[in-house]
Structure 1
Amino acid sequence: MTGGTGDEGTRRPRSSRARRWRIAAIAAGSVLVAIAVAAALILSGTLWPNRVFAAGYPVRGIDVSSYQGSIDWPVLSKQDIDFAIVKATEGSSDVDERFAANWAGARESGLVVGAYHFLSFDSPGSTQAANVIRTVPAAPAALPPTVDVEFYGDYFAHPPSRQKVRGILDPLLAALERHYGRPAILYATADAYDRYLKGAYQRNPIWFRSVAVPPWVPDGRQWTFWQYSDRERLPGYRGDEAFVDMNAFAGSRRQLEDLARPPGQ
């Protein structure tokens, strides 16, 4: 039978479309809530994607500076970590105010310990090397010193040339190797590595920063240390910075100790 106005037939599609829109709106709202919750957990340090990938590297450690304030090394060293790399110097004259205490406390706690120098693009490599050498002891069973190569201040927007940085970095590394007897470790962000280290410094162990995704060094080189998180909270420190950086080592504890052993020992 074909009688009637057809009103019922036209109402049903409208009702169906409205239901679909409501369902889609609810689903979209749920996704936004989930994203907001995940973002909050990540920002708080509760959830960090790289933890899953870093779990494949059982030898892990921290890097700290004066921003972590006073550190209770007997407490911090028991947080399932094997090594600590502490800030020593920056540029040609700056010395981290907590270096001496952190160096002594970390070594006494039984961790494998190293020191790092923040590279300045504003002073000669020779004077920066002198700053490191007069600050960081050439101690037995210590990791080679690290040179931290990354952008800062106005250099994020206006990076110095590769030639300029090599002119600072090369004499610095040469002086450190002469004094400590081993090639220094090079720490770098992906951008800094790509601009300044790619294809060079093959004798220097690489410490690569990649806190959002698993590490991939731009030239395919194998990393030795991987900074996989900057949002960890561990018992044992109290300072202006609530978080501490976490790092993985690409090897066994024995291999880490071998890296800290001077040649001939």
Structure 2
Amino acid sequence: MGQYLAWMMMGVSAVALTACGGGRDSGPSRGRLMAPDKLNAAAFSASGLPSRFGDTAPHEWDGLVPALYSVHGIDAARYQGMIDWSTARNAGVSFAWLKATEGGDHIDPGFVANAPGARSAGVPVGAYHFYYFCRTPEEQAKWFMQNVPHVPGDLPPVLDIEWNHQSSCKRKPDPLTVRTEMARFVNILNKHYGTLPVIYTTPDFYADNDLGQMHGAEFWLRTVAAHPSERYPGEDWSFWQYTGTGVVPGVGGNVDINAFGGSPESWSRWLSARRQS
């Protein structure tokens, strides 16, 4: 972590940035909580996945498969509706991150709706922010903090940063600018919540912006057709998002499923070290 903080401080002073303008809409958007049908995980069983989960569009896994890992969880948004957390926990959901905010004026109602239920069911839960390149990191951090309370015991916040080709924002910063903006955002949240955010990203964004330079950062990596060691050679990671078309008891529709990259014992140690205090 010391290396990461040092990297952040260097990044903050490396480049002076300006914003490109406002968000996608003229005012705050809270969206609408969806109510998808619950799918039967057993009807969508897939090789390579834990037997309690399913997948509606499974990859033909071999070698280092998701089922080799013991600790699994989900990330969700309004599209999954109200989650039955007791059922999900009994099926093996050990953690959850819920989308809370995007940019500087968008709220996902799934976080407010589902986070209390996760806590009550004993599922460690946290919030993630979807980064928007036409807002400053300061604006976005402020927006996240306004809408995500500091709750002792919650998971660390997540910075979800990736290229969004459907976004109204066409700004595509150079790699140094990207890493500097990430540093500014992460530094603010670290001071507020008392724990460093986890960084979620995708193979193309990671490569385009040379995120391997972020020594000491804690990564949550998406790769739905190969193990992270194949898509992010040499990179350390804590979480692996291995499908976006998963089926989990208690969760409506499809949902992203993730594995923690360690044993149950290391998961307990991770929770003790990284939960908000």
- Could you tell me which amino acid in structure 2 is paired with residue 101 of structure 1? A
1:222 alignment partner, one of 202, 222, 236: 236
What is the rounded CA distance, in whole Å, between the counterparts of 1:111 and 1:154 in structure 2? 32
Matched, 1:252 2:266: no
For residues 47-98 of structure 1, what are the alpha-carbon distances to aligned partners after superposition, in whole Å with 9 as ceiling and x for unaligned?
Answer: 4334871111110111100011122222222221211111111111211112
Q: Which has the higher helix share?
A: 1
Equivalence for 2:32: none
Deviation at 1:109, TM superposition (A): 1.1
- Could you tell me which amino acid in structure 2 is paired with residue 137 of structure 1? P
1:165 alignment partner, one of 156, 178, 184: 178
1:71 alignment partner, one of 65, 83, 94: 83
The residue matched to 1:192 in structure 2 has which SS? helix
Equivalence for 1:12: none
The equivalences for 1:16-55 within 5 A come to 45=56, 47-50=58-61, 53-55=65-67
Matched, 1:234 2:245: no
CA RMSD after TM alignment:
2.8
Equivalence for 1:189: 202
CA pair 137-259 structure 1, distance change in 2 beyond 3 A: farther
What is the rounded CA distance, in whole Å, between the counterparts of 1:137 and 1:253 in structure 2? 28
1:100 alignment partner, one of 112, 119, 136: 112
Alpha carbons 2:133, 2:171 under 8 Å: kept:
no
- Normalised to the residue count of structure 1, the TM-score between the two structures is 0.75
The residue matched to 2:190 in structure 1 has which SS? helix
1:151 alignment partner, one of 123, 141, 163: 163
The equivalences for 1:121-140 within 5 A come to 121-140=133-152
- Could you tell me which amino acid in structure 2 is paired with residue 97 of structure 1? P
Deviation at 1:164, TM superposition (A): 3.3
CA pair 142-262 structure 1, distance change in 2 beyond 3 A: farther
Deviation larger for 153-162 or 136-145:
153-162
Alpha carbons 2:133, 2:172 under 8 Å: kept:
no
Alpha carbons 2:100, 2:147 under 8 Å: kept:
yes
Q: What fraction of aligned residue pairs are identical, expressed as a percent?
A: 34
- Structure of greater Rg: 1
Alpha carbons 2:190, 2:197 under 8 Å: kept:
yes
What is the rounded CA distance, in whole Å, between the counterparts of 2:100 and 2:214 in structure 1? 22
Deviation at 1:255, TM superposition (A): 2.9
Alpha carbons 1:74, 1:109 under 8 Å: kept:
yes
Alignment length (residue pairs):
222
Alpha carbons 2:128, 2:158 under 8 Å: kept:
yes
Alpha carbons 2:55, 2:247 under 8 Å: kept:
no
The residue matched to 1:87 in structure 2 has which SS? strand
Deviation at 1:197, TM superposition (A): 4.8
Deviation at 1:210, TM superposition (A): 0.4
Ranges in structure 2 where 5+ consecutive residues have no aligned partner: 1-45, 48-53
CA pair 106-197 structure 1, distance change in 2 beyond 3 A: farther
Higher relative contact order (CA 8 A, sep 6+): 2
